Amino acid sequence: MDRLRIGIVGASGYSGAVATRIASAHPNLALAFATSDKLAGKSVATELGAFVPADVHFVANGAALDHVDACDAVLLATSAEVSLRLAPAFADRGKQVIDLSGAFRLDGPSYPRWYGFAHDAPAWLDRAHYGLPELFGSPPKGALVANPGCYPTAALLALGPLLREGLVLPTGIVIDAKSGVSGAGRQSGEAYSFMEVGDDLRAYKVLEHQHTPEITRALERCAGGPTQLTFTAHLLPIKRGLLATCYARPRDGATATRVASCLAAAYADARFVRAVPPGEVMLKRVVGTNAAYVGATANQDVVVAIGAIDNLLKGAAGQAIQNLNRMNGWDEDLGLRHLDRASP
């Protein structure tokens, strides 16, 4: 078969770089272009270790739309403001679009509060597919895919099936989540320097995190009605990995055995999600892979559900490729099978 030509915008950021390496080794994809302002003119193979010819070079971010005719699909590893402009432009030209930002994950009125801008492409919000395949299925062929955030992916995979089965109350949900520093993106601010991050643990964007409405919206789809959520993100002094611990009030019948069996049944046929006892949900089992480990238990007072992922893979680039595979009717682990976890 002819390979699907893919362009990657923002290919020198952490998620974009990982996506570029995966795409370059994917048997059904051919890298059409990769953009980066700081690496413009440099070899993609040399800078990223991607499996492309040495004469394939980065182009500037501003030139992305100049290459629209060279690609069949585009992956946007860009800020929400940039994706808001680029995603409709590529989609209107008939290109498959996978967006890693939050530009198409919420309803229109939420954007000024959580992202600081008014959304000016509301028609695309209605057409966007929230790309968490294990909970919400494969993207339609022509959809703009809003790839979920890393925190929402881990939390929703752990908690979503329990809400769908009516095992927990939709109010009073608490999510305590912790991510490695790469989740903040490639930036050079003092707050993310080794001296500031090492040997530390901190909460950030408390009651202000933009993933709060995203998680809430998806949980409401699972619950079939309103939910009430408190979400707090924390910064771990590690490079990669994310663990979300979710607390919810049990409904009648939500025993430890029942909540564990609910997750096991929900993911029995899932390629990437594995239901295990809560104590076996750990970062070293997922970092370097597109896998998610989830586990849950309960007593008469609380249900605890835990999810762990690699924030750059299942939380970003890996899930983007998984969505692209599903959109095109390919095996969903194509291009992702070779990924190996970082620890024995």
Task: Please give the positions annotated as active site.
Answer: 150
How far apart CA 200 and CA 235 sit, in angstroms, is 8
Distance CA 16, CA 25 (A): 14
Cα separation of 117 and 44, whole Å? Answer: 33
Q: Could you count the other beta carbons within 10 Å of the beta carbon of residue 40? A: 15
CB 208 within 8 A of CB 115: no
Query: Which of 31, 39, 136, 146 has the alpha carbon at shortest distance from 87?
Result: 146
CB 119 within 8 A of CB 125: yes
Helix (H) or strand (E) holding 130: strand 129-130
Euclidean distance between CA atoms 157 and 228, whole angstroms: 17
Backbone angles phi, psi at 272, to 5 degrees: -115, -15
Per the CB < 8 A criterion, the answer to whether 234 and 201 are in contact is: yes
Q: How many residues does the structure list for the chain? A: 344
